[in-house]
Structure 1
């Protein structure tokens, strides 16, 4: 169930995006599941349609959902476990970066440093 906290410093579109992405990565929303229309979800959550549309656009841009024209919006198919786990880790990291108020450049620098091979022990 999606809950938007109007008192949160996180914008409503981001709360919605993060909750939908989490539902997909956890398997709560399975590949191929149909999502509500922008208008219906906006009405259900008390949000402006543009807010829901922005969240959907960002999710579509990252490959989490796909729009099939008049047929609607669906959870994207084909994400294997590796992709799902990587996306889940990336989303968790992004949430942490936002909470720490780091810039994207700083966050990327930390990731690059963490991915460097460790020197071999003598």
Structure 2
């Protein structure tokens, strides 16, 4: 991974594995990480971020389950091709992401109304 770097805020209420998963997923779906680009090994990313390898491994497992990355022995972990058809939405994953976002926003002091306004604006101007 030569492009953007991942960051983890250990003071955030969002678990570190979810921060890694969400940031990596965003980089992949926006094209900032291209298909076939190699990601750091679990151990390397864990060392870079000061986390346990298990935390990074969990993020990678979730990215694989979402078919955003693929890991092959000897070839490492690489960005997968994005599906060209309509994307499946996992309701449980969407709920989890929403809860994490809402918790983080509330921890910043945002009101529910401000959070909803920010989400609406983000959806209107991606």
| TM-score normalized with structure 2 length | 0.67
2:25 corresponds to: 21
Deviations along 1:53-84, whole A, 9 cap, x unmatched? 0000010011010011121000012533854x
Q: Matches of 2:73 and 2:52 in 1, distance apart?
A: 21
Gaps of 5+ in 2: 104-126
Give yes or no for the alignment of 1:66 onto 2:59.
no
2:58 corresponds to: 54
Q: Matches of 1:70 and 1:79 in 2, distance apart?
A: 24
Query: What count of residue pairs does the alignment treat as equivalent?
Result: 97
- Map 1:1-122 onto structure 2 (within 5 A): 1-80=5-84, 83=87, 95-100=97-102
Gaps of 5+ in 1: 102-122
Q: Which runs of 4+ in 1 moved over 6 A?
A: none
Q: Matches of 1:48 and 1:32 in 2, distance apart?
A: 26
What is the CA RMSD across the aligned residues, in angstroms? 2.4
- Computing the radius of gyration from Cα coordinates, the structure with the larger value is 1
Q: Matches of 1:78 and 1:55 in 2, distance apart?
A: 18
Cα pair 2:29 2:82 within 8 Å, conserved: no
| TM-score normalized with structure 1 length | 0.69
Going from structure 1 to structure 2, the CA distance change for 1:22 and 1:93 (only over 3 Å counts) comes to farther
